[in-house]
A and B are shown apart, each in its own frame.
Chain A
Amino acid sequence: MTTYFGVDVADVIETMPSRFRKEAAAGIAGSFGYDLGEAGRWRLAVRDGDAALAPAEDLDDCLAVVATDPQTFVGIQLGKIDATEAMALQKLTVAGDRGAFGSITRLFQKYLPPGEEALPETELVVLKQTISVDQTFATGPVMGRFLKGLKEKKILAMRCPVCGRLQSPPREICAVCRVRNTEWVEIGPKGEMRMLEYVYYASPDPLTGETRETPYGAIGVLLDGCRDEEVFWHLLNPAQLDRVQMGSVIDGQVRHGSRLRPVWAENRTGSIDDIQYFELDD
């Protein structure tokens, strides 16, 4: 008796007909060959929802013939070896109709060694929880001045004294030139849409803990007074998701995007939410 993974290879082969799930085999007819090296050559004849297995020298009449070594065969039957991986490693080859062979392999119940009964399905423990953490965000002097500007319906940017680029929300330092930004500039508040991201998976808002309705549009607006990549990121009026046009500059060819204007919140507190969203400026 030859064993692999503690299992008798002959028993794995001989139990194939009894492990065949007849109810699932309707409409399948034909012979399938198993060339298992020293464990022999076998023909599985499937007809009328029944399967018969017999040793066979000649497998030429089979729809498909699988060739592998007994260890790989037993490993796959026990779920210890992945069939796709075995094929990639050339330890298992299928000649003939691969599709038909693929469908036949799914018709067998898993092999269980004699005396072992099928274990009941293990209950899997999954816990769902929402963790809530109170946060206090410090604005710092630069972001603080920007947010105070929003309270007065002004969008402020900082200009780099070396390269001249504008950043909004502002940064204390121009990370490209590594110099301290000093000059404040008011930009917008209207602009042109340059970028639209349809968001289908929303992360919770860190200010409210609430998750936005999806899909929503995250947009990059090129506010008046800005150029090139100096876009300002905010939200689009969700009702206008499909009515806006993105602008672009490709090889010097300018295509203008939709004109947008900010919608200011009634009660402004000096927060990024002082702009509710941008909407079409018709």
Chain B
Amino acid sequence: MQSDFDTSDCYTIEGKLALPYTYFAGRVGSRFITTLRDQHKIMGVRCAACDTVFVPPRQTCERCLGDLTDSWCEVGSRGRVVNFTVVRYPDRHLPRPVPFVLAMILLEGADTPIVHLLEGIPPEQVAVDMAVEAVFAETTTNTIRDIDHFKPCDA
């Protein structure tokens, strides 16, 4: 490669960046995870003012600014794909070898979609509005990955 300056002093140094990291799920997030883990139930919160069911749950309604901490409701473990993308760029932090599908899934009873892995179907056959259901993980990680993935199901 041509350069317009003297590159004889240019070289690279290898580094290893370590980021110690503590993630707190929050009170609402914790209950969402523990219910998922212990009871295989997907919980959301309903805002009484605007009647919106948020999944994953959140502490505050983004529209009404009301406190949703104790407004729990269960939603279905089935839903529909509202949008999706195919991940084709491999990287160490990714949960699956590429290609795999990340889908936005609107669960039964929810008003906001959840993002998760969609498996059991070739990426090119995934379509918006297809019915899917949650497959719960056999071992817990105390994360959203306690749902292992979603798979297609009968409508």
B50 at the binding interface (Cβ < 8 Å): no
- In the assembled complex, 24 residue pairs joining A and B whose CB atoms fall closer than 8 Å, in A order, are A122-B31, A124-B24, A124-B27, A126-B22, A126-B23, A126-B24, A126-B25, A128-B21, A130-B18, A132-B16, A133-B18, A135-B14, A135-B17, A136-B15, A139-B10, A140-B10, A141-B7, A141-B9, A144-B9, A144-B10, A204-B20, A207-B14, A207-B16, A210-B18
Determine which of A125, A144, A210 lies in contact with B33 in the assembled complex, contact meaning CB atoms within 8 Å. Answer: A125
Which residues on B sit within 8 Å (CB–CB) of A124? 24-25, 27, 30
Are A125 and B19 CB-contacts (below 8 A) given A137-B13, A144-B11, A271-B13?
Answer: no
B-contact bits for A99-123, CB 8 A (1 contact / 0 none): 0000000000000000000000011
**CB-based nearest A residue for B29:** A125
Which residues of the partner chain B approach A147 to less than 8 Å between Cβ atoms?
A: 13
Task: Indicate whether B83 reaches chain A with its CB closer than 8 angstroms.
Answer: no
User: Does B85 lie at the interface of the complex (its beta carbon under 8 Å from any beta carbon of A)?
Assistant: no
Interface SS of chain A: helix, strand, loop or mixed?
mixed
Q: Judge whether A204 and B34 touch: CB under 8 Å.
A: no
Asked whether A138 is an interface residue with its Cβ less than 8 Å from the other chain, the reply is yes
Please give the distance in Å from B96's CB to the nearest CB on chain A.
18
Cβ-neighbour of A129 out of B6, B23, B27 (below 8 A): B23
Given contact pairs A125-B142, A141-B7, A133 touches B29 in the complex (Cβ within 8 A): no
B6 neighbours in A (Cβ, 8 Å)? 141
Tally of A-B residue pairs with Cβ under 8 A?
Answer: 110
Q: In the complex, what residues of A have CB within 8 A of residue B5's CB?
A: 141
Q: Counting chain A CB atoms within 10 Å of each CB, which of B10, B27, B142 scores highest?
A: B10
Contact B17 A122 (CB under 8 A): no
Within 123-177 of A, Cβ neighbours of B (below 8 Å) are at 123-142, 144-145, 147-148
Q: Name the CB-closest residue of A to B28.
A: A122
Do the beta carbons of B20 and A139 come within 8 Å of each other? Answer: no
Please report B residues at the A interface, Cβ cutoff 8 Å: 5-25, 27, 29-31, 33-34, 93, 142-143
Chain B residues, CB < 8 A from A145: 9
Decide: B23 and A127 in contact? CB cutoff 8 A. Answer: yes
Contact B30 A204 (CB under 8 A): no
Residues from chain B with Cβ under 8 Å of A141 in the complex: 5-10
Cβ contact within 8 Å between A128 and B9:
no
| A140: nearest chain-B partner, CB-CB | B10
Please provide the 10 A-B residue pairs with the shortest distance between their CB atoms, ordered closest to farther.
A209-B18, A144-B9, A209-B16, A135-B15, A125-B25, A145-B9, A204-B18, A125-B30, A131-B19, A133-B17
A84 within 8 Å of B by Cβ? no
* Cβ of A281 to closest chain B Cβ, rounded Å: 29
Q: How far is the CA of A271 from the CA of B15 in the complex (A)?
A: 11
Hey, what's the 0/1 contact readout for A204-229 against B, CB within 8 Å counting as 1? 10111111000000000000000000
Q: Which residues of A contact B22 (CB under 8 A)?
A: 126-128
* A270 and B33 contacting across the interface, CB-CB below 8 Å: no
Q: A122-B30, A123-B34 are in contact. Are A207 and B13 (CB under 8 A)?
A: yes
Q: A126-B24, A206-B15 provided; 18 other pairs, C-beta below 8 A?
A: A123-B30, A123-B34, A124-B25, A125-B33, A126-B22, A126-B25, A128-B20, A130-B19, A131-B19, A132-B16, A132-B18, A134-B16, A136-B13, A139-B9, A140-B10, A141-B5, A144-B11, A270-B13
